[in-house]
Amino acid sequence: MSSVCIVTGGGGARIGSGICRALVAKGWTVVVADQDLASATAVADEARAAGGNAVPMALDVTDAESVRDVVAATVAEFGRLDALVNSAGVGLRGAGAEATPEEFDRLHAINYRGPWTCIKEAVPAMVEGGGGSIVNIGSVHAAGAAETFTLYAGTKAALAALTRGTARDYGRQGIRCNIVHPGAVESRGNGHLLSEFVASRQMLPTAVEAIDIGNAVAFLVSPEARSITGVELYVDAGATAMLFSNGFTD
């Protein structure tokens, strides 16, 4: 049987679905877990139409019972859990001090507590199966201060710390944990802004696509990455490396 991976936020139009497509193409069985079950179903249907194996599941990463149910259902259906990708996330724009407490709490509940909850529930299943791999999806904003991204960047920096700690906590039990930091990812409607970003803020002349993030994740969960853990991987066409000379703008 193929290896099994849960992708939270897997129904997302950009990065989440790109990760699912890349994993399915590598022969993984993918649980497309998303709060929007219709979107998760569409991604899973596309994967099956292409000859892959994917199932949709409803998941609210802020609800521990929902997370527990998805992990249990995955193990019950497939008999194993080999990998977890924490892709679910939300953004928040504006100066940090201008956010409301409710906005702050929601941002942290989804972007930081959500991945922690998923890790907490997935680790026992992975340990029982002899090990596994966790990949968190961060952001280039974790590396620097960009205008209007203060609180969002904070959650991604915290997620990077959680990644390193998880790698340390469970490495001896055969669990690896890494984080991928996407740069500006191409999507419908951001062509003009992205072209400007590519021209002035990247080393490479081409836009980062969702499948590029997916391919990085697929490598990190694979046996070929068996000695890689606690690592932050920037998939940003060189944007972070230019931070110190040009800085980030939105």
* Helices of type H across 26-100: 37-49, 64-78
Domain assignments of the chain as residue spans, ordered by start: 4-246
Task: Specify whether 234 is catalytic.
Answer: no
Write down the pLDDT at residue 247: 47
Write down the pLDDT at residue 93: 65
Is the domain spanning 4-246 CATH 3.40.50.10170? The answer is: no
On the question of pLDDT at 151 being above 60, the answer is yes
Write down the pLDDT at residue 216: 97
Distance CA 116, CA 187 (A): 28
**Per-chain mean pLDDT for the chain:** 88
On the question of pLDDT at 248 being above 70, the answer is no
Give the pLDDT band (50/70/90) at residue 148: low
The candidate with the shortest Cα–Cα distance to 175, out of 214, 219, 119, is 119
166-209 confidence digits (pLDDT tens): 999 999 999 999 999 998 787 654 555 566 666 567 788 787 88
The candidate with the shortest Cα–Cα distance to 160, out of 182, 148, 147, 178, is 178
Write down the pLDDT at residue 112: 96
Q: In whole angstroms, how far apart are CA 73 and each of 56, 67, 229?
A: 11, 10, 27
CA-CA-CA-CA torsion for 13, 16, 18, 21, nearest 10 degrees?
-110
On the question of pLDDT at 106 being above 50, the answer is yes
Given 112, 152, 170, 234, which residue is catalytic?
A: 152
Say what the pTM is.
0.90
